[in-house]
Amino acid sequence: MSLSIRILEDFTSLDPADWAGIDHADNPFLSYEWLAALETSGSIGPHAGWQPHHLAVYEEESLVGFAPTYAKHNSHGEFVFDWAWADAYQRNGLAYYPKLLTGIPYSPVTGPRLLVRKGHPEPGEVRAALIQYACSLCADGQFSSWHCNFVNHTDAESLARQDLLQREDWQFHWSNDAWSDFHGFLNSLRSRKRKNIRRERRQVREAGVAVAWKSGEQLSDPDLDFIYDCYTDTFHNYGNYPALQKSFFKSIASGLGERFQVALASIDERPVAMSVFLAGGGRLYGRYWGCVENIPALHFELAYYQGIEFCINNGLDVFESGAQGEHKIGRGFAPNRTRSFHYIEHPAFRAAIADHLQREGRWLESYGEQLDKRVPFRRDEP
């Protein structure tokens, strides 16, 4: 098998038909629409520190592998935090940026990163070629390091065979136990947690809030304007930069259709809040939340309970509500491990970071054991 790798600086240079032949596990963040809209809307680019540098594997002229990859000039929007590594490089007179990152901009969601054409007879060889090529770009001096973030189990097995550093963390996911309705889910929780959720949902109802779900093609221009305004307000309120442009939301709403879902909250037909979700591969992904009125418990209702009900009603297996948030445990979410892999070219820094990751890993294991004890599902309580 003769493979060649090309660097693509424009995702839309790929033929959508070729992309359709790549196995991306129906992950909406790896859809042609999502990756293309990030670039065409100007949500990423040199101005944002995300320069497309995609790795495409060809067998003759046939696309057989791909890694969504970016040359990074900062560490914004990654959710695997390496600011301390960059600071250590700078204090020692070395350049950490640019670095090379394989992942999805602004999206802390696990999925395939080393993509292979469906039915390819040697998927392991294609993945290995992508890994080796990414590392070679660092060895050639183009980048200080290569990072592959939020990888799934299959990619983790391939990455673990190489000379890479592994890093882990925890997220909180809800898993569907084939409940017939939200009431069945509540009955699986310990009594104190059930009462808390019922109280929070009652607060929202008593405030006169109505919630309607709309898919991408059902959203009107005023809906999309409201969604974007809520998104930007939330980021500004927390002192963050709202990187995604209004045209991005409009593009993915029309492009993703049923895979793009929004829960819209209103009082007397006046919009007050929204929560954006993506669906695919048997999973629901919570992405963005925002409101124009502060209503007690409305965030929990829109961002968590509505998503759980959507999964139950539509037979989805898992609900990933985003990064961090121990408060999710009491609302039915359980800790799940996330993984990233890192190639550090500088030998001394590679050794220092490896030592740090070993110590960090021991702490995270202990932290995970503590989290498991807080999972709210009842054991022997009626």
pLDDT at residue 382 in the model: 47
% of the chain beyond a pLDDT of 70? 99
CATH number, domain of 253, equals: 3.40.630.30
Taking the C-alpha atoms of residue 69 and residue 23, their distance in angstroms, rounded to an integer, is 17
Sheet holding 115-117, edge to edge: 4-8, 54-59, 62-67, 115-117, 22-23
Taking the C-alpha atoms of residue 140 and residue 364, their distance in angstroms, rounded to an integer, is 34
Does residue 224 fall inside a structural domain? yes
pLDDT at residue 238 in the model: 82
* Same domain, residue pair 151 and 222: no
**pLDDT reading at 22 higher than 80:** yes
pLDDT level of residue 241 (50, 70, 90 thresholds): confident
* Same domain, residue pair 19 and 115: yes
Neighbours of 281 (CB within 10 A): 18
**pLDDT reading at 51 higher than 70:** yes
**pLDDT reading at 348 higher than 80:** yes
* Same domain, residue pair 307 and 241: yes
Q: How large is the average pLDDT for residues 164-190?
A: 97
Count of domains observed in the chain? 2
pLDDT level of residue 379 (50, 70, 90 thresholds): low
- Rounded alpha-carbon distances, angstroms, from residue 165 to 7, 110, 161, 180: 24, 18, 11, 43
**pLDDT reading at 381 higher than 60:** no
* Same domain, residue pair 165 and 187: no
Taking the C-alpha atoms of residue 351 and residue 347, their distance in angstroms, rounded to an integer, is 6
* Same domain, residue pair 83 and 231: no
* Same domain, residue pair 147 and 71: yes
**What is the span of the domain harbouring residue 312?**
177-316
Does residue 380 fall inside a structural domain? no
Side-chain-side CA neighbours of residue 350 (13 Å): 16
| pLDDT tens per residue across span 286-307 | 999 999 999 999 999 999 999 9
Radius of gyration of the chain (CA): 22
| pLDDT tens per residue across span 107-146 | 999 999 999 999 999 999 999 999 999 999 999 999 999 9
* Same domain, residue pair 277 and 302: yes
Distance from chain centroid for Cα 315? 21
Q: How large is the average pLDDT for residues 353-357?
A: 97
* Same domain, residue pair 238 and 190: yes
pLDDT at residue 158 in the model: 97
* Same domain, residue pair 136 and 41: yes
Give the 3-state DSSP-derived string for 323-371, with helices as H, strands as E and coil as C. Answer: CCCHHHHHHCCEEEEEEEEEEECCHHHHHHHHHHHHHHHHHHHHHHHHH
* Same domain, residue pair 11 and 155: yes
